[in-house]
Structure 1
Amino acid sequence: MRLTGRDPASGRTLRVTVEDGRIGEIRATDEPSELWLAPGLVDLQVNGFAGHDVNAPDVDEATVTALVRSLHRAGVTTVVPTVISAPEERIVAALSVIARARAADPLVAHAIPYAHLEGPFLSAEDGPRGAHDRRHVRPADLGELRRWGDLAGMVTVSPHDEAAIDLIGQATRMGLRCAIGHTHATPEQITRAADAGAVLSTHLGNATYALLPRHPNHLWSQLADDRLHAGFIADGHHLPAETFRAMLRAKGVERAHLVSDATSLAGMPPGRYRTPVGGEVELSATGRLSHVGTPFLAGASRSLADGVATAISMADLTLSTGLRLASANPGRFTGGRGVLRAGAPADLITFAWRPGDRTLDVRTVIAAGQAVLET
C-alpha cells in the first residue's frame, strides 16, 4: 500500500509505503499533490462522538466499536476513551465493555491503548468540579483504583489533600499516567503532585473557579512546572484565543497537546439534548455545548481535526505545529505514536486544508496499516 501527500513541514510531496502494519519507505517525489499527508491524530480525551457515548448506562461493545470507526473518519487513529465520575460499579462496567470491544476486534485494540479515568477523585466544589455530578465525586481511594483493572492507563486527580497526593504516587508506581485536573489545589499541592509523579494537566484553563487570586494560583503553578505536559481544548469556546496563545507560549509547544474532550454530541446537529455528560444541554450552530438556560459549558462538541484548525487560527501556528500538538506530542503518552517515521505504526491521514479553514478535510485514513477511509 502507498500513500502520497504534501509534507506539512517542508511542503514537499512524500510517498509513503506501508508494510505489515508499519510505515516502510518514505521518499520525496516530484509528483504534485493537492492533499497534505500526516500521522493519524491522537486524542487522549474522548467521552463520545457522533452519538456514541462510553459513559452511557447502556454502553456495549458495539458502541465502543462504532465510536472508534466514527473517529477514524474524523482522522483520529488513536483513541483514549474517557470515563467520567460515576458510581464505582458503572466505572468498572464501562472499563469491562471497552476491554471486551478490544478483545473482539484487532483494529479497536490498536486504536485504544488504554482508558482515561477523569474522576471520580476530583474537587467537589462548584467551578472546579465542572460538569461532573457532585454525587459521584469522592475522596481518593487506592482500593478503588486497584479494582479498575489493567485497562485504566490514565487518571485525572485533584491533588487537594494528602490522600489524593498519595494516590498519585501509588498510581504512578503501578504504571498509570497521572494528570492534574478539576482541582482547587494550592500551588504547593500542585508541586507535590508533580513530585509524586503527575505528568499531565487535564484541559488546562478549564474546570476552575470563575474568579481566582491574581497570583499565586493553581493555573500559574501548572504552567510553570516543566514536569507537567498540558492538554488544551482548542474549540474556540473553552479558551479565548488570547488565553490559549498565552498559555501555549508559557508551557511551550514541546510540553503541550490538544484534546477534543468530545462528548457524544460531537458531529451531531444543533439542538437540545440530554446526555450522561452534562444532563440537559444545548448545542449551538457554532459548536458551543452548554447547560440549558445557563452560560456554562457542558463539554465539547468538536473533533480533534477541528481543534487543529482552530488552534492554528487562534495562536497563529504553522500547519506543522498544529498537527504536532495533535499527533506526536500526545503520542508520547501512547507509546510514541503520531510520528511519520519508518518503522512506526502505519497510522496515516491525508487531508485538504487552507489557512482560515475551520477543520481538516480528511480524505484518507490508514489505521494499523489498513485503509479505513478513502474518499
Structure 2
Amino acid sequence: MSRAFAVTGARIFDGQDWHEDRALLVDQGLVTGLLPPADLPEGLERKAAKGALLVPGFIDLQVNGGGGELFNDRPELDAIEAICAAHARFGTTALLVTLITDTPDVRTAAIAAAREARLAAVPGFLGLHLEGPHLSIARKGVHDPALIRPMQADDLDAHLACASFFDAVLATVAPENVTLEQVAALTRAGITVSLGHTDADYETIATYALAGARMVTHLFNAMSPLGSREPGTVGAALDLGTLHAGIIADGYHVDPVTMSIALRAKTGPGRIFIVTDAMSTIGSDLQGFTLNGRTVFRKDGRLTTADGTLAGADIDMLSSVRFAHRTLDLPLEEALRMASAYPADAIGVSARKGRLMPGLDADFLLLSEDLDMIATYIGGEPVFST
C-alpha cells in the first residue's frame, strides 16, 4: 500500500468539478483530500505534474482480452494479469474480465482464474463479466450458436457461488433464455444483470427490469432496434430510467450521429457509459486471432470474422474518451464521466471508485492537454508511465 504523497501542479477533475491550484492528497491507497499547495503538511512527498490533467481512472465493464491474451482461450491468472496490465497503459484502472459464450468447463476455469486474481489483488482487476451463454440465437452476434442455451439450475448455482467473492459480478443474459425468477435470484445475490443479445420487445425488457435487471449490454448492437411501432430493446434502454447502458465508442459499432441522439434521449437516472468490448489485440501487434474456432481479422480499427461480423472491438478506453469528446463534441468532463463515474454507478461500486473524493480509491490518470497518456495510478501506486 502506498505511503502518503501529494500530486501538485495538475488541473484536477474529481469526477464532478475541475479544481485549479489544488493538490491531490493520497494516503494508504485512498484519496484523502484536495488542498492548496501552500497548505500541504511539511515533509509530505510531492509528485510534480505541472501542466497535466489529473482525472479519475477509467472503469471498463466489458474486456474480453488485451496484451495478446483472450480470456476465453486462456482462462488463467497470468492471462488476467496481462489483460489488466495492457489496459492500464490506456487509462483503465478497474475492469471486469469478460468471458463470452463458451462451454461449462471453460466457465468453471474462468471463475477459478478470477478467484485467483482476486486473492492475488491483481492491479486493475475488479471482477467478472459472464456474457452468455444464456442469450438469444436470433441476436447472437459473434457468439457460437451451438453453445447458446437456456439457464439451468446448475448455471444459476455457478453464478450465485461467485457472487459474494468479487467486488463486482456482471451477467449478460437474454429474456429468451433466462426466467424472471432467475433474474430476481441473481439480483438478490448482488449480481448486476444486464440484458443483451436479445430480440425482446419493449414490454419484455420492462418486465425484466422490474425483476432486477439494471443494465443493457453494448447498446444498439445485438438487440431489437428502435422502430416506429415497436420500441424494442433499444427503446427500452433509452426510455427506462432504471437501466444503464454500455456503448462501444469506436465509430464502427454505432454511428456517431446515432450515439449523439441516444445520449440526448436517455432517461435518467440511468446513464449511457463507455465500454470497449476489447479483444486480445489491445496493447499488442496481433493482426488476428481465433474465437471458438473462427478466425477474427484485425484491419483499420475493426475486428471481423470472414463474413464481416463484428467480433468485439479494437479500441482502448482513452481512445474511446477522445472519440466521445472530439467526434461527438461532448464536454471533456462528460466524456470522462462516461468512462469512470457512470460505469461505477452502473455496477454499484461508486462508494469506492469512479471519482476522486476523500475515502475513495486513489485510481487516477495524468494526461496531457492533448489527452495523451502520462501515467496511470491504481490504489495510489504507479502502474504505467510514458
TM-score (norm 1): 0.89
Map of 1:290 onto structure 2: 304
Matched, 1:7 2:18: no
Match of 1:68 among 50, 63, 84: 84
Map of 2:381 onto structure 1: 370
Aligned residues of 1:113 and 1:334 also touching (Cα < 8 A): no
| TM alignment of 1:17-36, pairs within 5 A | 17-28=25-36, 33-36=50-53
- Paired AA for residue 27 in structure 2: E
Map of 2:148 onto structure 1: 137
DSSP-derived class of the 2:151 partner: coil
Map of 1:86 onto structure 2: 102
Aligned residues of 1:78 and 1:111 also touching (Cα < 8 A): yes
Q: How far apart, CA to CA, are the structure 2 residues paired with 1:91 and 1:348?
A: 32
Give the direction of change, closer, same or farther, for the CA distance of 1:260–1:13 in structure 2 (3 Å limit).
farther
Map of 1:346 onto structure 2: 362
Structure 1 residue 374: Cα displacement: 3.0
State the Cα RMSD in Å: 2.2
Give the direction of change, closer, same or farther, for the CA distance of 1:342–1:222 in structure 2 (3 Å limit).
same
Map of 1:220 onto structure 2: 235
Aligned residues of 2:102 and 2:147 also touching (Cα < 8 A): yes
DSSP-derived class of the 2:179 partner: helix
Structure 2: unaligned runs, 5 residues or longer: 39-47
Aligned residues of 1:270 and 1:284 also touching (Cα < 8 A): no
Percent identical pairs in the alignment equals 32
Match of 1:194 among 175, 189, 209: 209
- 1:169-213 deviation digits (Å, cap 9, x = unpaired): 11111211100100011211101110100000111111136x774
Give the direction of change, closer, same or farther, for the CA distance of 1:247–1:142 in structure 2 (3 Å limit).
farther
Q: How far apart, CA to CA, are the structure 2 residues paired with 1:212 and 1:59?
A: 36
Give the direction of change, closer, same or farther, for the CA distance of 1:212–1:291 in structure 2 (3 Å limit).
farther
| TM alignment of 1:292-371, pairs within 5 A | 292=306, 294-332=307-345, 333-336=347-350, 337-354=353-370, 360-371=371-382
- 1:210-262 deviation digits (Å, cap 9, x = unpaired): x7743312211221111101111101111110000011111158612110110
Map of 1:357 onto structure 2: none
Structure 1: unaligned runs, 5 residues or longer: 355-359
| TM alignment of 1:199-278, pairs within 5 A | 199-208=214-223, 213-216=227-230, 217-251=232-266, 255-269=271-285, 271=287, 273-276=288-291
DSSP-derived class of the 1:98 partner: helix
Give the direction of change, closer, same or farther, for the CA distance of 1:306–1:278 in structure 2 (3 Å limit).
farther
Aligned residues of 2:86 and 2:283 also touching (Cα < 8 A): no
| TM alignment of 1:72-151, pairs within 5 A | 72-103=88-119, 105-106=120-121, 108=122, 111-125=124-138, 128-148=139-159, 149-150=161-162, 151=166
- 1:338-367 deviation digits (Å, cap 9, x = unpaired): 10111111111101243xxxxx42211111
Structure 1 residue 28: Cα displacement: 4.5
TM-score (norm 2): 0.87
Structure 1 residue 270: Cα displacement: 6.7
